Amino acid sequence: ILERHGHDGTRLLEILRETQDLLGWLAPETIDTIATAIGWPRARVESTAGFYSFFHTRPLGRYRVLFSDNITDRMLGNRELMQALCNKLWLEPGRVSEDGLVSVDATSCTGLCDQGPAALVNYRAISNLTSDRIDTMAELIRSETPVAEWPADWFRIEDNIRRRDVLLNYDLAPGAALAAGLARGATEFLDEVKRSGLRGRGGAGFLTGRKWQSCRIAPGAEHYVVCNADEGEPGTFKDRVLLTSYADMVFEGMTLAGFAIGAKQGLLYLRGEYRYLLDPLEAALTRRRSAGLLGTNIQGKDFDFDIDIRLGAGAYICGEESALIESLEGKPGKPRIRPPFPVTHGYLNQPTIVNNVETLAAACLIAKHGGTWFAAIGSASSAGTKLLSVSGDVARPGIYEYPFGISITEVLADAGALNTLAVQISGAAGNCLADNEFGRRIAYEDVPTAGSFMVFNHGRDMFDVVSNFVHFFAHESCGFCTPCRVGTAVNRRLIDKIAAGHGSPYDIDEMFKMHRLMQGTSHCGLGNSATTALFDILYKFKPTFERRLQSLDFEPRFDLDYALSEARRMTGRDDAGAHLTDEKS
Ligand code: SF4
């Protein structure tokens, strides 16, 4: 493994993953060997191995079952299914069976919200879990049947495309958009991208042409194109579909971007949860190399470009561009201090563009039809179309492509939503809209989104939704800066306290304080947006909180008096002055 990766530390994630596949886990002596071979201090290798949730520095079961734990999975009964599997295997969630056969746990959203509840078994995705499947799964594990021999239909992942527009109707042969872009020349093609008004589809909405221009003119020995396929925002799965059925368009968009900025190398960072896409994507790259669409002198021009795929290892924060670059360099995915920005100091400190999968795919349309054509689609400040990943309480979950400017009401009608209470836009980090806001429009000038669109009907309790999000952020905070590391943990404790019936207005005030603190002082977008949905839901669905606040006075979560009752009983000392309050029964 080390040989194949050239003892290169920047490939540490690949080295660790392949070693773990071979040995089952990353033992201390394995870390030693890897550190020596790549010439890094042991602590540096250990910090990477310890950062990612898909790397294991202690033995885990030979079967590792991870239940997807997005709110949409919960609405479909994932918790009950996980408990049923644990009961059948005589196991507690989060523990390894005593014989080392199996471990069962939960993981953050796996990008299968349109076909949940979902799970990963030895990192292979299984959709549409049912209690029958759980029964069979328990038998297959007990009989130690290799996962490769489990029923093939369990692993079938559907695209569920419900509405197509210009992007999903793309039907050009591989190489056609590239030929059009190359024929324009790099400067003219970049001008077309600027003219198009294309903005990044990952949520921030930065103008793509401006980003590419900044990178192109930045000095550096090499320039890099990075495709951010670390689609980790809860409720989004559009990139999964693009990478499954439109891989050529994505790779072609990367190649065009390389042409525009003067790069020879592209890197596609694929989230670890989409590992099942790795082989098909590698096969697509091989086909493109054979067809002369990657490599040297592409399509007879003086242009060399190739693409490498790197696999993430279960860290939501790596969707942040500088954390993703750190991860590509073999390090823990902790966001960098910016400036400098990646366009001047990115991968290996060289000028780098990081673009979302959908943004790069859209570049093919611009190469073929031109920027003016693209700019005419959508709304005034939001050119083109947007893919929405629709899930939750709808009759037809899946992928919907609309020109920017579509209203929430129209999306709900198309998806067959009835009796809708709320829509969570753009994942756990986004805004929650109540029914008086459904006339608003998906566009950067109104409701911007990276694509997640989760629907909740009047039968849902929004407290469950917010609790899921608060736990998600506490789990995914990278721990680099104190406001986010502590703030997300405090919020989790406060939400759990309110859920347990010990909440008071004091706890809501505490959450407000955390909100203000985290928004003003967090190092990156995760900490800044971790309380957005919490406060939307708190303002718009107040009764769900109020009915849980049992007391107007502060109530401690930890009841010291009650905790001492056993000691009092054992020592026989129970004088009245030793009690803080009336003892709880
Ligand atoms: Fe890490 Fe959170 Fe700080 Fe971002 S805000 S650097 S995720 S601890």
- Residue 21, pLDDT > 50, answer yes
Give yes or no for residue 333 CB within 6 A of ligand 1.
no
pLDDT given at position 60: 84
> How many angstroms separate the CA atoms of 312 and 55, rounded?
10
* Mean pLDDT along residues 539-550: 90
Q: Collapsing DSSP states into helix, strand and coil, what is residue 106?
A: strand
Ligand 1 atom, smallest distance to 528 CA: 5
Give yes or no for residue 478 CB within 6 A of ligand 1.
yes
Task: State in Å: Cα 484 to ligand 1 middle.
Answer: 6
pLDDT given at position 212: 98
Give yes or no for residue 177 CB within 6 A of ligand 1.
no
Mean pLDDT, the chain, whole residue set:
94
> How many angstroms separate the CA atoms of 504 and 389, rounded?
37
* Residue range 115-160, pLDDT digits in tens: 999 999 999 999 999 999 999 999 999 999 999 999 999 999 999 9
Among 214, 241, 192, residue whose Cα is nearest residue 363 = 192
Task: State in Å: Cα 221 to ligand 1 middle.
Answer: 31
Identify the bridge partners of residue 423 per DSSP, sorted by sequence position: 433, 455
Give yes or no for residue 67 CB within 6 A of ligand 1.
no
581 pLDDT tier (thresholds 50, 70, 90): low
Tokens linked to 371: 């920027």
Q: Collapsing DSSP states into helix, strand and coil, what is residue 102?
A: strand
Give yes or no for residue 479 CB within 6 A of ligand 1.
yes
568 pLDDT tier (thresholds 50, 70, 90): confident
* Mean pLDDT along residues 16-21: 96
> How remote is the C-alpha of 350 from its chain's centroid?
26
> How many angstroms separate the CA atoms of 114 and 539, rounded?
28
> How many angstroms separate the CA atoms of 168 and 159, rounded?
11
Ligand 1 atom, smallest distance to 488 CA: 2
Among 282, 267, 286, residue whose Cα is nearest residue 330 = 267
284 pLDDT tier (thresholds 50, 70, 90): very high
**Considering only CA atoms, which residue is closest to atom 5 of ligand 1?**
527
* Residue range 480-538, pLDDT digits in tens: 999 999 999 999 999 999 999 889 899 999 999 999 999 889 999 999 999 999 999 99
Backbone angles phi, psi at 489, to 5 degrees: -70, -40
Task: State in Å: Cα 215 to ligand 1 middle.
Answer: 26
Quote the DSSP letter at residue 304.
-
pLDDT given at position 570: 78
pLDDT given at position 583: 44
- Residue 582, pLDDT > 60, answer no
pLDDT given at position 585: 38
> How many angstroms separate the CA atoms of 226 and 211, rounded?
13
Task: State in Å: Cα 527 to ligand 1 middle.
Answer: 5
**Considering only CA atoms, which residue is closest to atom 1 of ligand 1?**
478
Ligand 1 atom, smallest distance to 482 CA: 8
> How many angstroms separate the CA atoms of 342 and 347, rounded?
7
* Mean pLDDT along residues 405-421: 98
Give yes or no for residue 484 CB within 6 A of ligand 1.
yes
- Give the CA radius of gyration of the chain: 25
Give yes or no for residue 477 CB within 6 A of ligand 1.
yes
Give yes or no for residue 322 CB within 6 A of ligand 1.
no
* Mean pLDDT along residues 416-444: 97
Identify the bridge partners of residue 355 per DSSP, sorted by sequence position: 227
Domains annotated for the chain, with CATH where assigned, are: 9-51 (no CATH), 63-158 (3.40.30.10), 162-376 (3.40.50.11540), 382-460 (3.10.20.600), 463-546 (1.20.1440.230)
Task: State in Å: Cα 526 to ligand 1 middle.
Answer: 6
* Mean pLDDT along residues 171-181: 96
Task: State in Å: Cα 343 to ligand 1 middle.
Answer: 21
Ligand 1 atom, smallest distance to 518 CA: 5
Q: Are 210 and 338 in contact (CB under 8 A)?
A: no
Place of tokens 């939001």: 382
Q: Collapsing DSSP states into helix, strand and coil, what is residue 39?
A: coil
Give yes or no for residue 485 CB within 6 A of ligand 1.
yes
562 pLDDT tier (thresholds 50, 70, 90): low
557 pLDDT tier (thresholds 50, 70, 90): low
- Residue 552, pLDDT > 80, answer no
